[in-house]
Amino acid sequence: MQGHVHIKHFEHRGKNRYGFVFAYNNEITKLIKAAGGFWSQTHACWYIDANDKLLLKLTTQLEKTFGVRIELDEASAKNRSALVLDPATETYLLQLVSWMKSRRYSTSTITTYKEALHVFFQFFKTKDVREITADDVVRFNNEYILYRNLSHAYQNQFVNAIKLFYGKVIGSGMEINLIERPKTQRTLPNVLSKEEVKRILNVHTNFKHKAMLSLIYACGLRRGELLRLKPEHIDSKRNVLIIKQAKGRKDRIAPLSDKIIELLRAYFLAAKPKVYLFEGMKPGEPYDERSLQQVLKQAVKKAGINKPVSLHWLRHSYATHLLENGTDLRYIQEILGHSSSKTTEIYTHVSNKEIQKITSPYDFL
């Protein structure tokens, strides 16, 4: 791909934006739309919120992946350059990416670690990466993570990335055994009642939307697992769903009831998917993640449920309802694909099966 993209900084609808001006190109348009971009008739260009990290990510993709020449106005160039790391640090990051790929880390994990390290090294931009110490990590946690009130999980991602980088790429300088993880938090999973789940699954008139949400709940699937499914993964003779290369690169199976098989068979005959079980507007390509989230959001609104329900809530609800129905915790662990039983045991804390048997002393007053 050839050509150039001019990027301008402007205000639109009371917010700062980055506009992308270019001769019509479907691939560039798809990239900007996938990043949350919108078309402005007033400014005659596609635009994103003035997010400097996103700007750097998009311009890097356009330059390296598509070979596009980037032209930035003064404000955009200044903001982007503030986030660019020095060439030596970028080389180190590429070495980490190469090592992770050789070890078959998932694409999402590689991206997460690379982005975390980019933020970390940006914080210490005036310091050589080989001179950063464990004490600096403490300072980063206090002045960046805690100052911004970022989550426990987010902090843990940084620890994982830093330990891997200094253990496998630099190999010296940083005493990684001194880097402490944040204290473990126990947060209970969000669970819907069976009635709420029923309302969410039945409210959609679109057959594909109903089938997608129903299958997530019926088998306790993660979002990515649903979108990677292919028709051949449904074994209706054995009443099982085969989930290939899920989290941790593990295959597993989940039971399929006659009811969900009947729904999927009717959907398949109507949709006739080419490659993936659930495809987007273009045949042969998987359904878009963001669109799936919107499908759930619309269903929750139509069902009149005033909770910030996410797709993962359906997975949590599936596991909890299995437990309440008397399914052994070991089987739930296998179905969900948990490596540790401790992960599955969290559902015992939200199941109301035993709790409902407890009589409050208030009732005896």
Active-site residues, by number, are 222, 247, 312, 315, 338, 347
Tokens of 230: 């292919």
Q: First-to-last CA distance in the chain?
A: 78
Question: Residue 346: left (phi > 0), alpha (psi -120 to 50), or beta?
Answer: alpha
Q: For residue 317, which of 230, 217, 234 has the smallest C-alpha distance?
A: 217
The alpha carbon of 78 is separated from its chain's Cα centroid by a whole number of angstroms, namely 30
**Beta-bridge partners for 16:** 11
- Parallel, antiparallel, or unpaired: how do β-strands 45-49 and 15-21 relate? antiparallel
45-49 sheet: strands from edge to edge: 38-40, 45-49, 15-21, 4-12, 69-72
Beta carbons of 357 and 363 less than 8 angstroms apart = no
278: number of Cβ within 10 Å: 20
Q: How far apart are CA 37 and CA 19, in angstroms?
A: 9
How many residues in total does the chain contain? Answer: 365
3-class DSSP assignment, residue 308: coil
Please give the structure tokens belonging to residue 38: 């919108």
The conformational region for residue 279 under phi > 0 = left, psi -120 to 50 = alpha, else beta, is: beta
Closest by CA position to 208, among listed 284, 271, 273, 250? 271
**Two tokens, residue 364:** 């005896």
Q: How far apart are CA 164 and CA 155, in angstroms?
A: 14
Q: Which residue has the tokens 């979002």?
A: 223
